[in-house]
Structure formats: C-alpha cells, structure tokens
C-alpha cells in the first residue's frame, strides 16, 4: 500500500486548494474511500515517480466542543491513521490560537509532521514565514496553493518524510 499524507488545519487556510495543487491536474484520481467519512477524502498523488495518498480533512461543521477541539480531533485522527501529517497555516494571518492548539497536539506525534506556510503569493510574505517556527514543528515550508509557487519544494519535503 502506498504511504498516506493527511492534510490538517483550521478552516480557510487553503487545505483543499493545496491538496489540489499537490495532486497536479491529470494524475489526480478522486476516490471516495469506503469506510472513510465524508469529511476525509483520499486522493492518489504522483511526484517524481512515487505514488502516495493525500487525505484532505475539513468540510465538517464545528460542533458543540468548538472549532479548536474539532480541529484538534482531526489532527489526532490524522496522527493515528496517516504516515505523515501536513499542518497548513495561513501566512497572511500568522499563527492563531487554534493553530497553536493543533500544533501542540501534533508535537506529540511519532510520525513526521510538516508545516506548510500557505498563501505566500509573493516575496513580500517570505519574512512572515520565519515567524511560524514558533509553532514548534520545525521548518515552515512556504507555498502558494493558489499560484503554485514553491509547490515542488514542498512536494520534495513531503516525499522525504514519507
Ligand atoms: P480550507 O478550508 O482549508 O480547505 O481552505 P480552501 O482551500 O477552501 O481555501 C480557502 C480560501 O483561501 C479560498 O478562497 C482559497 O482560494 C484561498 N486560498 C487558498 N490557497 C491560497 C493561496 O495560496 N493564496 C491565496 N491568496 N489564497 C488562497
Ligand atoms: Mg477544505
């Protein structure tokens, strides 16, 4: 079976846009994996001749426990089911308390965790990326899911972790 990368983070940071970017266009095969709830959708990805599965999370409504608990629960699930986890944050906003709560959960992971600093659409945002070291997840990888900037570098880092 191919390795699985789970993509987590709070709503609107660009998880789904980034998943589409990681898949590329024509290689992407959308699959509704049996037994996986609707809020976790798995896709086949191919990079440098290596196949892996990308699981997009989200699409759920924050429940009575609140957004922070819901996102943390997704992160727990990702840690226990995926070979590596990609936390996506919005570089234009910076680390929020929800991002910090999820990072706290992910720091306990015994699987590799990568940090994507999304929405780095132009060079002016690069200095903001370094601030995300504060999440304690190692090097923040800049990327613009929207424009594709740095996507190849992020894919290289993902495959090195898987
Ligand atoms: P999700 O809720 O985390 O899955 O986020 P989405 O992928 O649905 O994206 C939320 C919003 O952020 C959408 O309006 C996207 O177009 C936007 N977005 C995603 N990635 C980028 C990016 O790299 N740059 C900018 N400027 N906007 C982005
Ligand atoms: Mg989404």
The pTM for the full model equals 0.91
Q: Which helix (H) or strand (E) holds 5?
A: strand 4-8
Is residue 90 annotated as involved in ligand binding?
no
Ligand 1 center to 1 CA (angstroms)? 30
**pLDDT-wise least confident of 72-76, 97-101, 117-121, 142-146:** 72-76
**Residue listed under structure tokens 């894919």:** 155
At 39 the pLDDT is: 54
- 46-78 residue pLDDT tens: 899 999 999 988 766 566 678 888 888 888 888
Domains of the chain (ranges; CATH) run 4-161 (3.40.50.300)
Q: Whose CA is nearest to atom 18 of ligand 1?
A: 14
Q: Whose CA is nearest to atom 26 of ligand 1?
A: 119
- 24-37 residue pLDDT tens: 754 334 444 443 44
Which atom of ligand 1 is closest in space to residue 88's alpha carbon?
A: 3
**Residue listed under structure tokens 């992160």:** 75
**Residue listed under structure tokens 């945002």:** 125
Whole-number average pLDDT of the chain: 87
Ligand 2 center to 40 CA (angstroms)? 10
């Amino acid at each position: 079976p191919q390795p699985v990368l789970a993509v987590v983070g709070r709503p609107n940071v660009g998880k789904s846009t980034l998943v589409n970017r990681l898949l590329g266009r024509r290689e992407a095969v959308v699959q509704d994996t049996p037994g996986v709830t609707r809020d976790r959708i798995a896709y086949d990805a191919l990079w440098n001749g290596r196949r892996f599965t990308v699981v997009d999370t989200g699409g759920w409504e924050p429940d009575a426990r609140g957004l922070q608990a819901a996102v943390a629960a997704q992160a727990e699930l990702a840690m226990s089911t995926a070979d590596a986890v990609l936390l996506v944050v919005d570089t234009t906003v910076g680390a929020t308390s929800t991002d910090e709560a999820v990072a706290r959960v992910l720091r306990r992971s015994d699987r590799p965790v990568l940090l994507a600093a999304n929405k780095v659409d132009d060079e002016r945002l690069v200095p903001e990326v370094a601030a995300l070291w504060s999440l304690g997840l190692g090097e923040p990888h800049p990327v613009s899911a929207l424009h594709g900037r740095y996507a190849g570098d992020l894919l290289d880092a993902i495959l090195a972790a898987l």
